Amino acid sequence: MSSITTFPIDDTVNAWVPHGRFVIDGAPGGPLAGLRFAVKDVFDVAGHPTGAGNPTWLATHAVPQVSSALVSQLLAAGAQLAGKVITDELAFSIHGDNMHYGMPINATSPARIPGGSSSGSVAAVAAHLVDFALGTDTGGSTRVPASYCGVWGLRSTHGQLSREGLVPLHPSFDTATWFAHDADTFARVGATLLPASDFAPRGALLVEEACAEAEARFQPLLAAVAAQLDVRLAERTRRVTIAPGEALEDWRRSYVTLGAREGWLTHGDWINTHAPRFSEAITERWRAASEVTAETAEVAAQRRKSIRAQVRVLVGTDRVLIVPSAATAAPLRDAGGAEIDDIRARTLRICCIAGLAGLPQVSLPFRDAEGLPVGISLIGPVGSDLALIGLAIETWRALQA
């Protein structure tokens, strides 16, 4: 494998970080030969700095001498690495803006945000500048941008893919992920990175509370996916209430509380020592994180334990859940204030289901009646990732026919 200095991509969507313009060739003849990928700037690449979306992080961390395990695996499989792309600062957002490097352009809807925190990854894929891109998903950072930009995205089973050489955010929620702009590439990467799965789904469950959080534009597509699975699987699709007597808002608060505590334990000392500049929204999240006590976090951890058991029992070994991938289509780039806060809260109520349960979730790319990208997701049992991708692609293709 060799690194070259001439960067071959015309970055029309402002996806790449300044220190990320390099190319490393993959091994010849591997299963991913002929494919080009980029990596979110939280993955280590040997000999190249990791910035984590913040210039102070870049300046205070040594250049890694060993690549992320996933980067090494993809290079060994023959894919060509085309540098590093923008992430929201320390990956602590699902919006897609970065006060230091800007907001990448959503090529499918240029007036709208790309979503984050894997903003550069999704923008590069949606613009077809790379075939696929590594991202991460903690609270929705792959599922949401995949939905906003009309590409394939996976939140992997927690712990399924190596997080070695990856800047953490909330370690017990962080997952390594990827985007692809077409189903065949999405499946090829999955076959390379994921272990085999014997998951054989018998039925699907449409989660009513999650559907209720989403805009009306999602509802016909949710119904279409449910109807297609009704035809494909042995059991009829059922509508279910996932949290009887509770609210997804309570689940979201448990995620936010526990994640914030983990994030502060992970990065609090560095923040206090170096006083990095963050955007106003991310600054406020870190301030709130610094105030979460061990006792409060323990309560949230116990709630997660209960929620995880509850969701895993519902999914069992042979069912999938159907949910929207986000609460809305991608907001306009100039949206802000209360509107964005509301969208974030609604979206996290949906995304926290798989996050708290540690389950895999595939976002299928659709378009609504106006032509805007809209993602519909399937959530499967632990370790079902590869088979879940297969089911998602089969379902999607049937609906395109």
- Which residues make Cβ contacts (< 8 Å) with residue 101, sequence separation at least 6? 14, 17, 18, 53, 86
CA within 13 Å, CB half, 382: 11
- Residue whose tokens read 């993602």: 375
All structural domains of the chain with their residue ranges: 3-193
Residue type, 210: A
In the block, residue with structure tokens 């349960």? 357
Q: Which of 175, 144, 2 is nearest to 75 (CA)?
A: 2
CA-based nearest residue to 45, from 14, 79, 18, 69: 69
How confident is the chain (401 residues) per 10-residue block, as mean pLDDT?
70 98 96 98 98 98 98 98 98 97 98 98 98 98 98 98 98 98 98 97 97 98 98 96 89 98 98 97 98 98 97 98 98 93 97 98 97 98 98 98 83
Q: Which amino acid is at 75?
A: L
Catalytic residue list contains 121 = no
pLDDT value of residue 1 = 47
CA 83/CA 19 separation, integer angstroms: 9
Closest by Cα among 358, 301, 325 to 173:
358
pLDDT at site 136:
98
User: CATH: 1.10.260.40, 3.90.1300.10, 3.10.129.10, 3.20.20.60. Which one for 3-193?
Assistant: 3.90.1300.10
CA 116 to chain centre: 8
Catalytic hit among 121, 141, 147, 325: 141
Please confirm, yes or no, whether 254 is among the known catalytic residues. no
377 is catalytic: no
Residue type, position 303, single letter: R
Buried b / exposed e across 6-20, counting CB within 10 Å, b at 16+? eeebebebbbbbebb
Output the pLDDT for position 3: 52
Q: Which residues of 30-43 are buried (b: 16+ CB within 10 A; e: fewer)?
A: bebeebbbbbbbbb
User: Out of 40, 84, 109, 377, which one is annotated catalytic?
Assistant: 40
Q: For residue 49, what are its two tokens? A: 């700095």
**CA-based nearest residue to 356, from 255, 238, 224:** 255
Catalytic residue among 117, 121, 147, 156: 117
